[in-house]
Structure 1
Amino acid sequence: MEALAQVLSCPVCLEFFTPPVLVLSCSHNFCRKCLEKILIRQNCSHVNGQFSCPMCRKIIHLRGRGIIGLPRNILVENILEKFKYELGNLQTKEQDQLSQICEEHGESMNLVCLTDDKPICAICKLFGDHEPHTVAKLSEVYAERKERFVKDLDWVCKQSECAEQARKEIEETINELTYTIADVKVMIEAVGASLLKGIQWRIAELKAKLCNDYSTKVEELQLAAKELQFPKHLYHQMKTLLEQHSNSVHFLREDKILRTKMEKLLHDSSLHQCIKDYHISIEEYFKDLINGIHISNYISSNADEILASSNDPPDPFRPECPAFSFSGGIPNICFCQKVLDFFQKSNKVTQDPTQNVSHNDANDAASRLDLSLEAESIPRQATV
């Protein structure tokens, strides 16, 4: 192998040939990059130039095509590729054999110390640190552990499927939250636009609370979704070990590590985390918005005259922003239910989660709701 490796090495860089391999008329082979360096050192920059072979000093003529005109040695490249493949297999076998040899005594490890749960050789049991420990044959422990490993793999597979289903439900919940937050913003803007300046602070407070509530729930759900990928990763690791372990020693070493992860998964309760509480209630925000508000204190008969005389009215009080029509002092239960039904219906409509809620959207929603409430008579001084 060493002699063949020398034949397949470039005489310039003394490493394996780096394709493409170029052959000169004197039959000597070089890496193309090494040959380019040789041309630079010999000041051969013209396509019709000439240079001397660094091995035999024979003059090589480029004949008008430069280094591109030199032929490639496809045979050497194919042999080199096959040699590297075989060399890799040989090194893998050598490492496989070394992994089954006791580093301390140089003997083959054919026993398993049940006390320390590790492969050992016979000398380790007779004269080494494992003399007082309980041992068993490596082949027997390997067969038993492998059978148990297959059963554990099936269990982890089922856990992975359950976790994947739970993760999908979390993603659906996140999407629902994304759609709901847009609806809640529309509701807050539509209802808030009908109130006076005294409740602007409440609108801002509710928006901040809503965003914080949304961010907190999404962060917790995304963290739970990330944790639910652990069984899937563990399943692939166990399956890979079962199918691709090189020897029993390698299997037992990796089995110990994976069993630790599986025990963690067994006691992990986050896979069954309840997500039914991760929702945002439009009704709750609506009631917080209008709680304790007496409309008669904010809307008077001369409200239009006051707004018209204002030089720079705030956005919620601009004339083009429609307000709800109230016949009584405060919205009653019938009105609240009407508004809630209106926005609940909008939840069923698929919306773009990246859509920005503008004042125009709020105004349109308020206008539609206002028209739907015009024919309804609301008793005065009703309470929510």
Structure 2
Amino acid sequence: MEALGQVLSCPVCLELFTPPVLVLPCTHNFCKKCLEKILIRQNCSHVNGQFSCPMCRKIIHLRGRGIIGLPRNILVESILEKFKYELENLHAKEQNQLSQICEEHGESMNLVCLTDDKPICAICKLFGDHETHNVAKISEVYVERKKRFTQDLDWMFRQSEHAEQARKEIETKINELTYTIADVRVMIEAVGASLLKGIRWRMAELKAKLGKDYSTKVEKLQLAASELQVPRHLYHQMKTLLEQHSNSVHFLQEDKLFRSKVEKLMDGNSLHQETKDYHISVGQYFKDLIKGIHINNYISSNSDEILASSNELPEVFRPECPAFSFSGGIPNEPFCQKVLDFFQKSNEIKQDPIQKVSHSDGNNTPSRMDISVEADSASRQAIV
């Protein structure tokens, strides 16, 4: 092998040929890279140049194609490939043999120390560190251990098959979750949009009802206020007649007309009409707005944290806004009262316009009616 290695070595680099191997007309072989270095050293840079063979000094003409025109030695390259293969096998065998030699005594390791579970040689057992240890023949231990290793390998194969099947099932679950979350988001968007549409329709309906209710009550109250001006006007007319009548005939003629008006007022209903029926109930409108919505179930200690951690919620549904869920029920009275108190305080802070009609009775006790209308307050305020 050593002699063959010398034959397959480049005379320039003194190493095994590195393909491609070029052969000169003088039959000497060189590595292509080595031959390129030779051309550089001999100042042969032209495609029609010439150079001398480093081995026999024969002049080689490139003939217009440069170094590319030189033929490759395919036979040498094939022999070189097989030589390297055999060289690797030989090296592997040498390493294998060396691995079976005891490094301490240089003897072949043909025993196994059962105490330390390691291969040893006979000298290690007779005179070495393993003198008092239990040993066995390496061939017997090898057969037994190889059999057990094969069994472990079969078990590991089955485990790997099961693990691979489980991994595929997990990937299937992940894909199912991916598709499911997309479907659920579409459902939430569709159903949520439908619920919001229903809420907006109810809000619009209640706003229209509120506007009509407000217009009707204000119209009646304005009519009542106009009727309350009649006594004062009649009083000034009668006082003017008493102070400024020109003669008795004129007074008697006017007195007859005023007397009929006074009698008509005295025979009619009381000028003061009860105005409590003209009150707009915020509580009733609140109940009508959230009818079928159970708020209590959605007011929890961690609802703010859940809403705050969601990046997909629009600003109107942030923690400062309430959460609603349709359940067919009506909030209990204490909760409604709490909400009404909240709205009342909010109205006082905002100083919303309040219409007041006052009337004093015989005991000088004032009677007050407050009409407070705030559109969209339920959709803009937080109920905590």
| Structure 1 counterpart of 2:43 | 43
Change (3 A) 1:296 1:73: closer
| Structure 2 counterpart of 1:160 | 160
Under a length normalisation based on structure 1, what TM-score does the superposition of the two structures give?
0.52
| Structure 1 counterpart of 2:220 | none
| Structure 1 counterpart of 2:93 | 93
Change (3 A) 1:327 1:108: same
Q: Secondary structure at the match of 1:124?
A: helix
Alignment of 1:64-75 (within 5 A): 64-75=64-75
| Structure 1 counterpart of 2:149 | 149
Under a length normalisation based on structure 2, what TM-score does the superposition of the two structures give?
0.52
Q: Secondary structure at the match of 1:301?
A: helix
| Structure 2 counterpart of 1:125 | 125
What letter is aligned with 1:329? G
| Structure 2 counterpart of 1:115 | 115
Q: Does 1:300 align with 2:203?
A: yes
Matched-pair contact (CA < 8 Å) for 1:329–1:381: yes
**C-alpha separation in 1, matches of 2:206 and 2:32:** 88
Q: Secondary structure at the match of 2:170?
A: helix
Q: Secondary structure at the match of 1:181?
A: helix
Alignment match of 1:330 (pick from 287, 290, 293)? 293
Cα distance, 1:151 vs. partner? 2.0
**C-alpha separation in 1, matches of 2:147 and 2:90:** 30
Matched-pair contact (CA < 8 Å) for 2:110–2:120: yes
What letter is aligned with 1:86? E
**C-alpha separation in 2, matches of 1:296 and 1:20:** 84
**C-alpha separation in 2, matches of 1:380 and 1:127:** 95
**C-alpha separation in 2, matches of 1:140 and 1:18:** 47
Cα distance, 1:158 vs. partner? 1.8
Cα distance, 1:55 vs. partner? 2.0
Alignment of 1:349-364 (within 5 A): none
Change (3 A) 1:34 1:304: farther
| Structure 1 counterpart of 2:29 | 29
Matched-pair contact (CA < 8 Å) for 2:290–2:330: no
Is there any run of 5+ residues in structure 1 with no aligned partner, and where? 197-294, 306-325, 332-356, 360-377
**C-alpha separation in 1, matches of 2:21 and 2:99:** 37
What letter is aligned with 1:76? V
Q: What whole-Å deviation, never above 9, does each CA across 1:149-201 have from its counterpart, x for those lacking one?
A: 222222222222211211111111111111122123223333444567xxxxx
**C-alpha separation in 2, matches of 1:304 and 1:49:** 103
| Structure 1 counterpart of 2:329 | 381
**C-alpha separation in 1, matches of 2:78 and 2:165:** 49
**C-alpha separation in 2, matches of 1:23 and 1:176:** 66
**C-alpha separation in 2, matches of 1:154 and 1:304:** 77
Structure with the greater alpha carbon radius of gyration: 2
| Structure 2 counterpart of 1:249 | none
**C-alpha separation in 1, matches of 2:201 and 2:128:** 91
Change (3 A) 1:43 1:303: farther
User: With CA pairs under 8 Å and 6+ residues apart, which has the higher RCO, 1 or 2?
Assistant: 1
What letter is aligned with 2:29? N
| Structure 2 counterpart of 1:4 | 4
Alignment of 1:1-384 (within 5 A): 1-193=1-193, 299-301=202-204, 328-330=291-293, 380-381=328-329
What letter is aligned with 2:203? S
Change (3 A) 1:330 1:67: same
Q: Percent identity?
A: 79
Is there any run of 5+ residues in structure 2 with no aligned partner, and where? 209-288, 295-311, 315-325, 332-384
**C-alpha separation in 2, matches of 1:298 and 1:34:** 91
| Structure 2 counterpart of 1:372 | none
Change (3 A) 1:89 1:298: same
**C-alpha separation in 2, matches of 1:68 and 1:304:** 94
* Of 115-124 and 68-77, the range deviating more from structure 2: 68-77
**C-alpha separation in 1, matches of 2:327 and 2:80:** 94
Cα distance, 1:379 vs. partner? 8.6
| Structure 1 counterpart of 2:320 | none
**C-alpha separation in 2, matches of 1:130 and 1:100:** 17
Q: What whole-Å deviation, never above 9, does each CA across 1:219-269 have from its counterpart, x for those lacking one?
A: xxxxxxxxxxxxxxxxxxxxxxxxxxxxxxxxxxxxxxxxxxxxxxxxxxx
Matched-pair contact (CA < 8 Å) for 1:49–1:63: yes
| Structure 1 counterpart of 2:249 | none
Q: CA RMSD in A?
A: 3.1
Matched-pair contact (CA < 8 Å) for 1:8–1:76: yes
* Of 156-165 and 108-117, the range deviating more from structure 2: 156-165
Change (3 A) 1:303 1:141: farther
**C-alpha separation in 2, matches of 1:110 and 1:10:** 44
Cα distance, 1:327 vs. partner? 10
Q: Secondary structure at the match of 2:292?
A: coil
Cα distance, 1:328 vs. partner? 4.9
| Structure 2 counterpart of 1:261 | none
| Structure 2 counterpart of 1:232 | none
Cα distance, 1:132 vs. partner? 1.6
Change (3 A) 1:303 1:33: farther
